[in-house]
Structures are given as structure tokens and as C-alpha cells.
Chains A and B, each alone.
Chain A
């Protein structure tokens, strides 16, 4: 399958899963499951940062429209897309990334994926709740929400990864 089509399908699936399923789950304790960072994470290595920020902006726009958050998701996804090349460079192999590989845990190893994705997801989630609450005096609450939501979203991302991995092995 063509890479472009694959990512367009992923865009639609991730946006609708987030808008119609994960936004509707009210777990309590301020937990807010987010899968849209995984979409930004799984974009191919050779994509440069400016188109990636454009894609992140579109993704955030769709999710914001569906959840009445008016630009919060857009802002945090654009931040994540901006930081992704920097974090990738820091943790990348010395000779650069192999363009045939994908930034998934099965191609790059689960250690690499865990470190890189938890940094990016943590920054994304922290920025999201910082803007949403916007009170310096309640930094503890922001951190609590970040840790709980970020942790569960990370586990969810691993689960989704295993689905993608299984469907590939069948082929």
C-alpha cells in the first residue's frame, strides 16, 4: 500500500476514534485518553518538520471541532510536531535513521519507542493541561492530570501498536 494513502487512512481512523470513542469515555480522576499523539509519532522519518506541523494542525483542528476545546488540541499537537525531530535527533542512531523503517516499536525496538514516545507524549499532555487549567498555583493538579492521562494514553498506544503489528504479520 502506498505510504500516503496509508497515512490518510490512519488520519481518519485516529481522528474518529478519538472524537467518537475516547472523548466520550468519562473515566473520572481527570483522566483524558489521547491517541492523536500516536498518529504524529507514527508519521514517516523522512517527513520534514513544516509539513508535519501542517498535518498536526489539521488533526488538532478536527479533534477540537468535535470536542469543543477550541484550539487546545491544535496547539499541543503542533508543539509535539515541532519537538519530534529534536527528540528523534537526540535519541537517534549515529548514522541517521533508515528511511525504510517506521518509528514503531517493532521496527525501532521497544526501548527506543518507550523513551521517545513517553517524552513526546509527556510534553504534549503537560502543555495541554497547562493551557487548559492555566493557573500556576495549581501545578500539582496539572502534574497529576498529566501523569495519569499520559500513563494511560501510553498503555493505550502500546495496545494500538500491537494491533498494527498483528495486522502486518498476517500479510
Chain B
């Protein structure tokens, strides 16, 4: 016993160091996959208050650019509204449409805190479970896809953006005849470029072909822009392309985003839960 105490006395400093390191690293590893508690993220009450003050100061910096983008988007949708179009045949009776049913609804949000040059970048949004936000919902902005909700507290939420290591959004590369499915990743180098993995190299990919979300997992609707192919290279020893894409959205200036709520998601997951596990 006395030997043990002497040993602990001798290595006291190193033991304290090891305990603190293990605490910090456990926190890091567990929160990357699933944050259990809002207190250790920016979603806690004190941190979010300071970040809101900071955001109140800095949100005007990109105001004119963001406003003109919103104006362009308004014009785009206004052009497609039936009441602003000239009616060519007056005799037709308007029938209420029963072919289409609304599947997605959108919740507008503002980015309060963001970073782009870490290995894993998270954005803080000013909407939370009070507005119907849940973990796993998709987030996009006018120009393109942003990420997936990682954690939601009552009034705020955390987005795991496309600028993280294993974001794994399923995307399509638009080709002339077919669409090539792949998974979106980020290598941590440049916030303007992402990567797509899992593309077989039997087809030649044209530069600047469009990349869009596939919409298979029910997080994103089909066809939200992601970016354009900027560079392709065969991976040595594998029948795969290394595909680099240029993101459509400018994450540096991002301010207004939309959170997607899929009204059919419960139905889809309930149906897919019926697939037997062992097959």
C-alpha cells in the first residue's frame, strides 16, 4: 500500500495530465458522432447569448449581397406564379390540382455562428425544437446544400455542414444519359471544394457537369444543387474516380438558410423498417 502511495506521489503530475487528456479526448470523440448534452456545445444559454451579440454586430457586413440574392430569388419564383402570367386560353376552367401533394415544408433560419477552416465545421442556427427542428433534417440555402442538423435544443440548433469529414450526403452527378450516384465528403483543405467518392471509372465524367442531391434517404428533396465537377483523376489500384467538385454556395458569406421538413419521412422509415435485417 505504501509503495502504491509513493508511486502515485511520484507520478502525480503525469496522472493528472492523463486524466485531463482522457476527459478532453472522450468529449471530442463522443460529440463528433452524437452530442448528448447541449451544455458543452454553443447551444447552451450563456455562449449563445454572447454569439448573438456578436452576430448582431457583424450581420450587416454582407447585407447588400444577401439582400440582392434574396431579391433575385423572389423574381425567380414570381415569374412562376400563375397570377402573374398572361392567360392564353380564357375558356379553360381551373381545376384544383390533385396530382401533386406537398411533401416538403421549409423553415427559414439565420446562421448565428459559423466557421469554415476547421476540419469539422458546425453552424449554429437560431431555430430549435420550438420551431419543429429535429436531428437529421436537411439544411440548404438558395445556392445549394448546407448540411444536416446535428443537435437541436429548444431555440437553437447545430448544423453538421458539408464542410465536415463524414457528412455522407448522397448526391448525383448529372450526365447526358444517366446520373452517377456517389457520396459527398470533404477533405478539410478548402471550403470552396468538396469530394465525391464511390464513382466507378467506366464512364468519362465531363468537367463542370452539375452535382445535385439524390433524395433517396428522405433528408433532401431531389435536385438541390451541390456544385459542379471541377477535377477528376483515376485512383491508383481501384476502379474508381477521384472527383473534386466546386461547391455552388459560398459558405463564407452564408446568412439565410432553410431547414427541410419531410412530411413523408415517418412513412418512409416505417416502411423501410420492414426490411428484414439479415438480408
Contact = CB atoms under 8 A, between A and B. Distances in A.
A53 B115 contact: no
A69 B121 CA distance: 8
Contacts, number: 102
Contacts of B51: 20, 66
B195 interface: no
Contact of B25 (A28, A75, A141): A75
Given A26-B116, A26-B252, A72 B28 contact: yes
A78 interface: yes
B221 interface: no
Contacts of A30: 117, 188-189
B251 to A, nearest CB: 9
B3 to A, nearest CB: 22
B42 A65 contact: yes
Most buried by B among A16, A78, A134: A78
A69 B42 CA distance: 10
Range for the number of chain A residues in contact with chain B: 35 or more
B16 interface: yes
B24 A74 contact: yes
Contacts of B44: 65
B154 interface: no
Contact of A70 (B20, B27, B189): B27
Contacts of B23: 57, 71, 74
Interface string B38-72: 01111010010011001000100000000000000
A71 B122 CA distance: 14
22 contacts: A24-B115, A26-B116, A26-B191, A26-B252, A28-B117, A49-B13, A57-B23, A57-B24, A65-B47, A67-B115, A68-B113, A68-B115, A68-B124, A71-B27, A71-B28, A72-B24, A75-B28, A82-B17, A132-B118, A134-B119, A141-B188, A141-B189
Given A68-B42, A70-B40, A75-B25, 16 more contacts: A16-B50, A24-B58, A30-B117, A30-B189, A57-B20, A64-B40, A70-B28, A70-B31, A70-B35, A71-B24, A71-B25, A72-B24, A79-B21, A82-B17, A132-B120, A133-B119
Interface of B: 12-13, 16-17, 20-21, 23-28, 31-32, 35, 39-42, 44, 47, 50-51, 54, 58, 113, 115-120, 122, 124, 158, 188-189, 191, 252
